[in-house]
Copies of this chain bind each other. A is one copy, B any other.
Amino acid sequence: MSFNTFGRVFRFTTWGESHGPALGAVVDGCPPGLALSEEDIQPWLDKRRPGTSRFTTQRQEPDRVCILSGTFEGRTTGTPISLMIENVDQRSKDYSEVALAYRPGHADYAYDAKYGFRDYRGGGRSSARETAARVAAGAVARAVIPEVRIRAYLVELGGDAIDRDAFDDAQIDANPFFCPDAAAAARWEAIVDGARKAGSSVGAIVECVAEGVPAGWGAPLYAKLDSELASAMMSINAVKGVEIGDGFAAARLTGETNADPMRPGNDGKPIFLANHAGGIAGGIATGQPVVVRVALKPTSSILTPVETIGRHGQAADIRTKGRHDPCVGIRAAPVVEAMMALVLADQKLLHRAQVG
C-alpha cells in the first residue's frame, strides 16, 4: 500500500516523481486567516535547493512554488492548499542501466518487489526530490506555529563531529553545511570534496531544536510527540536512526545522571536544570526545547562498481553515474526542519481540539 498523507488534523499529502512534469503537496486542515503567499514558502525551498554549491548535486532546479488553491487575498481560507513545483532539469540521460539492474542500497529492488514495476528515471517516487514538497508544506506549517522557532544543523559529517563548545548559531547559515562550528565546516569542505572526487559518499547527523513549544502538546499513547517525530524523521530518505534528547546515550546513564530536576520559576512555569529528555516526557512536551537527532547514511549513489543483480535475476555490476549529492545529509537539514514544523502544527491543533 502507498500512504502519502502525514498528520492527523493538520495533514499534508505529497505526490510526484523525480522526472515527472511536477511534484507537489496538498495541505489540509490549515486554520483560516493566516497570511500566506508564495513569498512565504520560497525561502525555505531555496535553502533545500540543489545546485547551490559544489557540495550538492549539480541538477539545476529553480524549485519555484505555486499556490493553486486554499488562499484568497493573501490569507488561508481553511480549505486545502495545493502547492506545485515544476520539474525543469530532468536530464534526458539514458536510464537503461538503472532500468535493468538494481542499485544496492537504493529502493530499486524493493520497489520492483512490491509493485512489480517502477519508474526508474532518477529514482522515481523514491527520489529525495520529493522532499521539496515537504519543505513547501512545512512552510505552511510554520505559519500555524508562530510561537515556535526551529533550527536544524549538522553536528557530524563523515564521522567528524562538531565541537559543542564552538557552537555558534550565526554560523549555521554562513556555510554550505548548515554547520554551527566554523572550524568543523572548514574540515568538512575537505571531506566532501574528497568524497565527491573519489566518486564516494559520506553520512551525517542532523540535530533539530524547536524552542517555544508549550508544555502540553503531544497526543499519547500512539501519537506521542516523540513517536510522531520518529515517524516523520524516519520517513526522510536515507535516515536510519532517530533519537530524542540524550537518545542512545541515555541508555548509558543512571537514574540520577539522567534526571532533569525542576525548580519553581517566576512565571508559574518550572525551571528545568537539565534537558536529557529533549523536551518530551510521557510523549508530551514539557516546555523545554524539543531536541531530535537524525542519522543519515551515505548515499548509495557511488562511482565504485558494486556487485548486484539485474531485473531478470542475472549477475551484474553497477556504478551510479549522473548527478548526486556526495552527502545527502547536508540538504536534509531543511527537510528535518520542515518535518518538525509539520509535526508540531498537527500537535498544536490536536491539543486545541481536546483541551480548547
Q: Does A255 contact B (CB under 8 A)?
A: yes
- Are B295 and A248 closer than 8 Å at their CB atoms? yes
Closest residue on chain B to residue A223 by CB atoms: B3
Give the nearest-CB partner of A70 in chain B.
B15
Minimum CB–CB distance from A248 to chain B (whole Å) comes to 4
Tell me whether A79 and B254 are in contact (CB under 8 A): no
* Chain B residues, Cβ within 8 Å of A282: 106-107, 110-111, 126
A43 interfacial contact with B, CB 8 Å: no
* A243 near B16: Cβ-Cβ < 8 Å: no
Which parts of A142-168 form the interface with B (CB within 8 Å)?
A: 156, 158-159
Q: Do residues B124 and A77 form an inter-chain contact, with CB atoms below 8 A?
A: yes
Q: A23-B69, A262-B309 are in contact. Are A235 and B224 (CB under 8 A)?
A: yes
B227 and A235 contact, CB distance less than 8 A = yes
A123-155 interface (Cβ within 8 A of B): 124-126, 130
Whether A262 contacts B102 by the Cβ 8 Å rule is: yes
Indicate if A344 sits at the interface (CB-CB under 8 A).
Answer: no
A28-B5 CB under 8 A given contacts A107-B283, A282-B126, A304-B255 = yes
Q: CB within 8 A of A68: which of B21, B261, B297?
A: B21
**Contact B107 A284, beta carbon cutoff 8 Å:** yes
- Name the interface residues of A31-68: CB closer than 8 Å to any CB of B: 31-33, 68
Partner of A159, one of B32, B81, B252, B270: B252
By a CB distance below 8 angstroms, the chain B residues around A1 are 8-9, 29, 219, 223, 350-351, 353-354
Check A255 against B353 for contact (C-beta < 8 Å).
no
Q: How far is the CA of A254 from the CA of B145 in the complex (A)?
A: 38
Q: Is the pair A4, B221 in contact by a Cβ cutoff of 8 Å?
A: yes
CB-based contact A255/B300 at 8 Å: yes
A340 lies within 8 A of chain B by Cβ: no
| Distance from A307 Cβ to chain B, minimum over Cβ atoms (Å) | 4
Question: A104-B262, A228-B231 provided; 19 other pairs, C-beta below 8 A?
Answer: A2-B28, A3-B219, A8-B9, A16-B68, A17-B69, A32-B114, A68-B84, A110-B283, A116-B355, A156-B252, A159-B252, A200-B254, A202-B254, A234-B244, A240-B247, A262-B308, A263-B307, A273-B307, A276-B297
The 6 closest A-B pairs by CB, nearest first: A107-B282, A241-B243, A1-B350, A203-B251, A110-B284, A231-B231
Interface pairs (7), CB distance under 8 Å = A5-B28, A17-B70, A33-B117, A114-B284, A205-B251, A230-B231, A261-B306
